[in-house]
């Protein structure tokens, strides 16, 4: 067994020696400290406006790392009570990224969105802006949200709301108590 | 202990293989010469020092909240260290892997610069791994095949140029001749061909240009673009020229006045169609079917009552893209655009009608981008982005009138039907974006509410809705034409004079256009 171990180490040394050029170490992003924070997730209320539900989440301090977790939590739907789920249950969060200029890119997938969501204007509008509102309220670094479907830009998700540009919050869709 | 030693050494080896990097000096070759920069190879990907490449290009880079922001010749781009998407203006740059930080310095996959520089400056960027050479050069464009068809339908001669790939072009008008000039090389199907057509005498190709020789000098053309496949359509007729579309005759000018004042043409857009069924009611009623039924009835009533041309964007159960709906309205030089939809909500019992016009917030942002793009286009010589932005801005000039139009629609719906009033709202609805006329989208009722679903499929309720919409359009037409002086206030007919609920009679033509009797 010792031989195997020594052999492995030798291989490692040889591999290192074969590099002719400078070797640098990856400075992968510093480990994110995770703490429990309260996120505000927006869903539709019976008054047909967006209302926030507060939920305690273990979130990394890095906004970029927290973003996909917050979006995934939104997609789980409301915990209960009068608030209503807006996104299809099969929606998958493929990725969510924060890029300069205050843009959060949210890449969604799942059977319903992939097939073309058959939905009405109000429902589509509220779903999209529940995402925009949730992201921008919880991450001050994000001012607007660009939605992708399966990694690509989509004209719309359900035939109404333009998704070809980044979207900013629409306070008029949010109940005054949750703004 | 042995096990521990073995596990430890294997782990170190595995980590080492994953993180193994090779770095060195590469060369960035531009018009201004060669510039050295640092590259790193890891896991089959080549990363370049963003700081050094940006500096070599004469740009600036700064740390931003979401990552790094680059400014180069007035164009802003950026990337984050956790995302394989970067941005340039509001467009995305896709990279094979996310950038990384090495000793605090950002390294991006070389493809970031490929996306950035091609989108912003029409430059090709290549990476030669053997020579560690990154080269920038103006984009080499492949020749585009052009197919030509000429036909005459109801007095309009339609030339369709079908392209093998999207291409930039401009259209110039001379004495009895139109010239379509492509900015990319083209392969022509013939050099010269004559036609037996009332308006088109001959088409000649020369280099990257084709010339359409007309039979008379007073023939005018509407030029517009269709996608999938890419096509340029030129409609020749005697009459009022239409408003060009993005990619068409020079940059489209949304404010271009129509030659005949007043509301002459109304486009009614039945939402969805074909496989895009829209919302579905609890008993299976499909939104696309009710939209079409209401739109057809409305077109008939309007053409009888107002003496205007009424055009449907679809007159059957077909898929029509959102851009094509607006493009059709622009092609017809329509003076009014109304998209008809049925609503849906997750709230049980949601009811009532609401009317939308385009959200101003989106337009403000686009106005800024237009200025930014205009500068960039001037620098790069590319007008494609500018045309796209102008398309996005088309509705902005009409927002005040669109607001009035939406208000009139909503008031009429409330008065005539007694359904719950959900008011006039603004939203970034795609179908309204490119319209160069007052435009609104009406949500007649909630198909997801079983009670409203039942009402929406009844002829009686549909006729009531149609009457409300027709009255609103008539009232708006009267008020608008009074405002612009076409109708003298004293002579203005009473908006409510016609209470005719007739919905039968004139039949839409195969093109969806209903001419006045």
Q: How far is CA A126 from CA A16, A49, A75, B294, B343, in A?
A: 55, 8, 13, 25, 12
- What's the confidence (pLDDT) of residue A15? 44
- What's the confidence (pLDDT) of residue B181? 85
Q: How far apart are CA B235 and CA B159, in angstroms?
A: 6
Bridge pairing between strands B231-238 and B105-109: unpaired
Q: Is the pLDDT of residue B251 over 50?
A: no
∠ CA B246-B249-B251, nearest 5°, is 55
- Is the separation of the CB atoms in B404 and B302 below 8 Å? no
C-alpha distance from A88 to closest chain B C-alpha (Å): 11
Stretch B417-444: mean pLDDT: 90
- What's the confidence (pLDDT) of residue B119? 83
Q: Which of B33-37, B234-238, B386-390, B503-507 has the highest mean pLDDT?
A: B33-37
Q: How far apart are CA B320 and CA B338, in angstroms?
A: 15
Q: Is the pLDDT of residue B453 over 50?
A: yes
Q: Is the pLDDT of residue B153 over 70?
A: no
C-alpha distance from B442 to closest chain A C-alpha (Å): 10
Q: How far apart are CA B226 and CA B246, in angstroms?
A: 10
pLDDT tier, B152 (very low <50, low <70, confident <90, very high otherwise): confident
- Please, which residues bridge with residue B148 across strands? B161
Q: Is the pLDDT of residue B464 over 70?
A: yes
Share of chain A above pLDDT 90, in %: 68
- What's the confidence (pLDDT) of residue B484? 85
The pLDDT tens digits for B106-134 are 999 999 999 999 888 888 999 999 999 99
Q: Where are the beta strands (DSSP E) in B1-96?
A: 21-30, 33-42, 45-49, 60-64, 67-72, 75-79, 85-88, 91-94
- What's the confidence (pLDDT) of residue B323? 84
- What's the confidence (pLDDT) of residue B150? 86
Q: How far apart are CA B312 and CA B322, in angstroms?
A: 13
Chain B residues touching residue A159 (CB < 8 angstroms)? 271-272, 276, 278, 322
Residue with tokens 């959900």, as numbered in its chain: B422
Q: What is the 3-class SS of chain A, one letter each residue?
A: CHHHHHHHHHHHHHHHHHCCCCCCCECCCCCCCEEEEEEEEEEECCCCCEEEEEEEEEEECCHHHHHHHHHHHHHCCCCCCCCECCCCCCCEEEEEEEECCCEEEEEEECHHHHHCCCCCHHHHHHHHHHHHHHHHHHCCCCCEEEEEECCEECCCCCCCECCCCCECCCHHHECHHHC
The Cβ of residue B216 has, within 10 Å, a number of other Cβ atoms equal to 11
Is the Cβ pair A103, B87 closer than 8 Å? yes
Q: Average pLDDT of chain B?
A: 80
∠ CA A127-A133-A138, nearest 5°, is 135
The pLDDT tens digits for B286-339 are 999 999 999 999 999 999 999 899 999 999 998 898 988 988 888 788 999 999
* Contact residues, B window 357-396, toward A, CB-based 8 Å cutoff: 359, 361-362, 365-366, 392
Candidate from A122, A153, A161 with C-beta closest to B344: A122
Buried b (16+ CB within 10 A) or exposed e, B430-468: bbbbbbbbbbbbbbbbbbbbeebbebbbeeebbbbbbbb
The pLDDT tens digits for A29-58 are 434 689 999 999 999 999 999 999 999 999
Is the Cβ pair A101, B22 closer than 8 Å? no
> B506 or A70: which carries more pLDDT confidence?
A70
- Is the separation of the CB atoms in B80 and B50 below 8 Å? no
The pLDDT tens digits for A5-22 are 445 444 444 444 334 333
Displacement of CA B510 from its chain's centroid (Å): 25
Is the Cβ pair A21, B24 closer than 8 Å? yes
Q: Is the pLDDT of residue B100 over 50?
A: yes
C-alpha distance from A56 to closest chain B C-alpha (Å): 24
ipTM above 0.85, yes or no: no
- Please, which residues bridge with residue A26 across strands? B102
Alpha helices per DSSP H over B263-398: 287-306, 322-331, 360-380, 384-393
DSSP state of B395: G
Q: Is the pLDDT of residue A133 over 90?
A: yes
pTM: 0.68
Share of chain B above pLDDT 70, in %: 78
Contacts of A56 (CB under 8 A, 6+ apart): A36, A37, A38, A39
Candidate from A9, A95, A164 with C-beta closest to B9: A9
Q: Is B429 on the interface with A (CB under 8 A)?
A: yes
Hey, CA dihedral for B31, B36, B37, B38, is it positive or negative?
positive
pLDDT tier, A88 (very low <50, low <70, confident <90, very high otherwise): very high
Q: How far apart are CA B457 and CA B294, in angstroms?
A: 10
Q: How far is CA A118 from CA A115, A178, B189, B276, in A?
A: 9, 29, 42, 7
Instruction: For B70, name the nearest residue in chain A, comparing CA atoms only.
Output: A100
Best A24, A49, A102, A136 residue to mutate vs chain B (most B CBs within 10 Å): A24
Q: Is the pLDDT of residue B284 over 60?
A: yes
Q: How far apart are CA A116 and CA A157, in angstroms?
A: 7
Q: How far apart are CA B491 and CA B493, in angstroms?
A: 6
Is the Cβ pair A98, B83 closer than 8 Å? yes
Best A48, A103, A118 residue to mutate vs chain B (most B CBs within 10 Å): A118
Q: Is the pLDDT of residue B227 over 80?
A: no
- What's the confidence (pLDDT) of residue A14? 42
Q: Is B407 exposed, middle or buried (0-12, 13-18, 19+ CB in 10 A)?
A: middle
Stretch A104-119: mean pLDDT: 95
B489: left (phi over 0), alpha (psi -120 to 50) or beta: alpha
pLDDT tier, B154 (very low <50, low <70, confident <90, very high otherwise): low
Tokens for B409, please give them: 């629609």
- What's the confidence (pLDDT) of residue A91? 97
The pLDDT tens digits for B474-502 are 999 999 999 888 887 665 444 444 433 33
Element (H, E) at B399: helix B399-417
- Please, which residues bridge with residue A96 across strands? A106
Instruction: For B360, name the nearest residue in chain A, comparing CA atoms only.
Output: A170
Q: Is the pLDDT of residue B159 over 60?
A: yes
Hey, CA dihedral for B417, B418, B424, B428, is it positive or negative?
negative
Q: How far apart are CA A84 and CA B344, in angstroms?
A: 14
- Please, which residues bridge with residue B87 across strands? B78, B92
Candidate from B6, B65, B441 with C-beta closest to A141: B65
Stretch B337-355: mean pLDDT: 95
Q: Average pLDDT of chain A?
A: 85
Q: Is the pLDDT of residue B71 over 60?
A: yes
Stretch B275-294: mean pLDDT: 96
Stretch B132-138: mean pLDDT: 93
């Amino acid at each position: 067994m010792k031989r195997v171990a020594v052999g492995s180490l030798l291989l490692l040394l040889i591999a290192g020696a074969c590099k002719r050029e400078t070797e640098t170490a990856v400075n992968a992003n510093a480990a994110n400290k995770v703490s429990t924070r309260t996120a505000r997730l927006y869903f539709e209320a019976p008054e047909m406006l967006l209302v926030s539900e507060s939920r305690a989440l273990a979130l990394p301090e890095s906004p970029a790392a927290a973003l996909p977790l917050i979006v995934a939590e939104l997609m789980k739907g409301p915990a209960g009570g009068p608030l209503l789920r807006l996104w299809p249950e099969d929606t998958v969060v493929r990725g969510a990224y924060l890029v300069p200029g205050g843009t959060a890119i949210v890449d969604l997938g799942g059977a319903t969105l992939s097939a073309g969501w058959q939905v009405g204007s109000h429902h589509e509008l509220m779903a999209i802006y529940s995402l925009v509102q949730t992201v921008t309220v919880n991450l001050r670094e994000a001012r607007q949200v660009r939605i992708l479907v399966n990694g690509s830009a989509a004209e719309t998700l359900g035939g109404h709301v333009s998704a070809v540009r980044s979207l900013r919050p629409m306070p008029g869709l949010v109940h005054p108590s949750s703004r | 202990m042995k096990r521990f030693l073995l596990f430890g050494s294997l782990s170190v080896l595995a980590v080492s293989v994953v993180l193994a990097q090779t770095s060195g000096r590469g060369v960035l070759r531009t018009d201004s010469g060669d510039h050295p920069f640092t590259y790193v190879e890891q896991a089959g990907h080549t990363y370049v020092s963003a700081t050094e490449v940006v500096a070599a290009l004469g740009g600036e880079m700064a740390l931003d909240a979401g990552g790094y922001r680059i400014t180069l010749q007035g164009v802003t781009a950026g990337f984050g260290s956790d995302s394989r998407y970067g941005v340039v203006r509001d467009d995305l740059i896709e990279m094979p892997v996310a950038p990384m930080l090495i000793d605090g310095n950002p390294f991006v996959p070389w493809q970031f610069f490929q996306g950035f520089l091609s989108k912003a400056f029409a430059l090709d960027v290549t990476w030669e791994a053997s020579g560690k050479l990154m080269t920038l050069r103006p984009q080499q464009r492949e020749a585009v095949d052009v197919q030509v068809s000429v036909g005459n339908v109801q007095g309009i001669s339609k030339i369709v140029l079908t392209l093998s790939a999207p291409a930039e072009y401009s259209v110039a008008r001379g004495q009895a001749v139109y010239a379509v000039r492509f900015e990319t090389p083209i392969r022509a199907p013939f050099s010269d061909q004559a036609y037996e057509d009332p308006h088109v005498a001959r088409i000649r190709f020369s280099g990257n240009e084709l010339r359409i020789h007309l039979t008379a000098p007073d023939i005018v053309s509407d030029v517009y673009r269709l996608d999938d496949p890419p096509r340029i359509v030129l409609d020749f007729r005697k009459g009022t020229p239409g408003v060009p579309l993005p990619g068409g005759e020079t940059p489209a000018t949304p404010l271009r006045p129509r030659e005949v004042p007043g509301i002459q043409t109304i486009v009614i857009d039945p939402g969805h169609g074909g496989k895009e069924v829209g919302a579905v009611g609890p008993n299976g009623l499909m939104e696309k079917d009710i939209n079409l039924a209401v739109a057809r009835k409305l077109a008939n009533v309007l053409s009888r009552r107002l003496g205007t041309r009424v055009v449907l964007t679809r007159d059957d159960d077909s898929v029509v893209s959102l851009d094509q709906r607006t493009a059709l309205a622009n092609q017809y030089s329509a003076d009014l655009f109304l998209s008809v939809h049925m609503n849906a909500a997750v709230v049980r019992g949601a009811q009532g009608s609401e009317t939308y016009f385009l959200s101003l917030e989106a337009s403000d942002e686009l106005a800024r981008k237009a200025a930014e793009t205009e500068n960039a286009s001037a620098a790069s010589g590319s007008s494609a982005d500018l045309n796209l932005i102008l398309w996005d801005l088309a509705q902005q000039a009409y927002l005040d009138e669109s607001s009035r139009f939406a208000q009139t629609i909503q008031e009429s719906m409330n008065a005539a039907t007694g359904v719950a009033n959900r008011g006039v709202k603004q939203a970034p609805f795609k179908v309204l974006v490119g319209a160069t006329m007052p435009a609104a989208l009406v949500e007649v009722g909630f198909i997801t509410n079983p009670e409203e679903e039942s009402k929406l499929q009844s002829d009686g309720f549909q006729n009531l809705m149609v009457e409300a919409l027709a009255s609103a359009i008539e009232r708006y037409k009267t008020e608008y034409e009074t405002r612009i002086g076409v109708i003298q206030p004293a002579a203005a007919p009473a908006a409510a004079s016609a209470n005719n609920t007739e919905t039968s009679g004139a039949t839409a033509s195969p093109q969806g256009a209903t001419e006045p009797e």
